[in-house]
Amino acid sequence: MIEKAINNATDFATIYNLHLGGEQGGDHVAVIKSANEFAQSLSDVLINTKGITRLVSDDDAVDKLINTAKAAGDVGLRFFDNLQTYRLDLLQPAQRKDVPTRNNSQARMALTGLAEILDALIAKKGGSLTRTNGDIGDIVEQEMNSAATAIEAATERLRELMNRPRDSTRFSAVDFQVHESILSSAMAITNAIARLIKAATESQQEIVAQGKGSSTVQQFYKRNNRWTEGLISAAKSVAFATNLLIESADGVLSGTHSLEQLIVASNEVAAATAQLVAASRVKANLMSKTQERLEAAAKAVTEACRALVRQVKAVSAREIEDEEVDYKNMAVLEFKKREMEQQVEILKLERELGHARHRLGAMRRAGYHSEETE
């Protein structure tokens, strides 16, 4: 994201200078487009820098990171302020072209300083794609194909689950109806993910074709190694989350998994989808049709995941209704006993919830750092 912001700052300054000189490529539309792209990429950098602070345990490092990011944001703001017409009118025509160039240099320095601080927070290991001996282009293609193959296998497994004979001795007609609705929702998710992977592949191919210039595909991937690693990680996450969803759906049907596990798996799919879209969005051109199709496919996946969650919650609500007890007609002593039991159970659950959240936070921090160094 920082790399994109730096490139957008240079593009904005270049186009603005063309605009000042009345040259081709410096029309108002080009200026507005480049300004929007720079502003959006800088906004993405600041928002995600704030998000990274939760993974930093050292308060001094957090303060340094925030202050450096704020300084970069201030430089970007001054960039726009200094290019306003009333400010440029105070200068001689020959001096005006120095303003975009000087502000671009300041923006690049501020963003580079932020990148250096972030690099210092990441432990370096020997698994980076920049040191890969093989063909990086082939690795990306293999991962995207592997994700597509995993989705196809998941869809086929879902079909097998839907066609599997049902044990009428274990499950009632209502259970069968619930299972059918869960499988249908899961099938809708896998179908949407298949379209997502196809759209992501098209978007990635377009990004490479437009960004490599005279260089080769492999050189483009190596030059943009952070983006490449993010794309590969996102594709792996989608495939893993989809398999987790199918395992959970199968477990609910066989009685080995809970409905809550299915909700978590569905949320993992939605999160992995967002990661894949974000990886493509970083390099995508403004108003790209392939990116629009990817965003639409991601929205379809998210909606399908929400539909599954709503279905599971509806099932849970019905189960709670079935367990309703007539407390109004219960004896006083029995009522008090049950009330105290519920209070004790709530306290236990709250304590377990606190411990679970603490463990989850530790796991996510460890997972983030391990992904960065893979």
Quick one: angle between helices 289-322 and 173-211, nearest 10?
A: 160
234 domain residue, yes or no: yes
92/102 Cα distance (integer angstroms): 16
- Residues 173, 317: one domain? yes
The pLDDT value given to residue 130: 47
Q: Is 84 helix (H, G, I), strand (E, B) or coil?
A: coil
Which CATH number belongs to the domain containing residue 289 in this structure?
A: 1.20.1410.10
**Residue 205 and residue 149 share a domain:** yes
The verdict on residue 126 lying in a domain is: no
- Looking at the domain assignment, is residue 12 inside a domain? yes
Note the maximum CA span of the chain.
Answer: 93
CB 86 within 8 A of CB 95: no
Listed in sequence order, the DSSP H helices in 55-172 are 59-82, 85-88, 93-96, 98-121, 136-163
Asked whether residue 96 is domain-assigned, the answer is yes
Question: Which is it for the CA torsion 20, 25, 31, 36, positive or negative?
Answer: negative
Verify that 175 and 255 share a domain, yes or no.
yes
- Do both 315 and 345 map to the same domain? no
Going by the DSSP 8-state scheme, the letter that residue 256 receives in this structure is S
Packing angle between helix 59-82 and helix 28-52, nearest 10 degrees?
170
Domain of 262?
A: 132-324
Domain annotation covers residue 127: no
**C-alpha count within 13 angstroms, C-beta hemisphere, residue 306:** 6
**Co-location of 73 and 164 in the same domain:** no
* Number of domains present in the structure of the chain: 3
162 and 112 in a common domain = no
What does each of the 374 residues of the chain score in pLDDT, given as a tens digit?
888 899 889 999 999 988 888 888 889 898 999 999 999 999 989 988 888 887 777 788 888 888 999 999 999 999 999 988 888 888 888 888 889 989 999 999 999 999 888 877 765 433 454 444 456 667 777 888 888 888 888 888 888 877 776 655 555 555 666 677 888 888 888 888 988 888 888 888 888 887 756 567 777 777 777 777 778 888 888 888 888 888 888 887 777 878 788 888 888 888 888 888 888 887 777 678 888 888 899 899 888 888 888 877 777 666 555 455 667 777 777 777 777 888 888 888 888 888 888 887 777 666 655 554 44
Q: Is residue 280 part of a domain?
A: yes
Note whether 201 and 269 are same-domain residues.
Answer: yes
Residues 58 and 90 in one domain: yes
The separation between CA 130 and the C-alpha centre of its own chain, rounded to angstroms, equals 23
Last residue of a domain, one of 56, 89, 121: 121
Given a contact cutoff of 8 angstroms between Cβ atoms, the answer to whether 192 and 297 are in contact is yes
Instruction: Clarify whether residues 250 and 210 are in a common domain.
Output: yes
**Exposure pattern of 64-82 as b/e (b: 16+ CB <10 Å)?**
ebeebbeebbebbeebeee
- The pLDDT, as a whole number, for residue 239 is 86
Could you tell me if 11 and 37 are in contact, meaning their C-beta atoms sit under 8 angstroms apart? yes
In a domain, 50, yes or no: yes
For residue 67, being part of any structural domain is answered with: yes
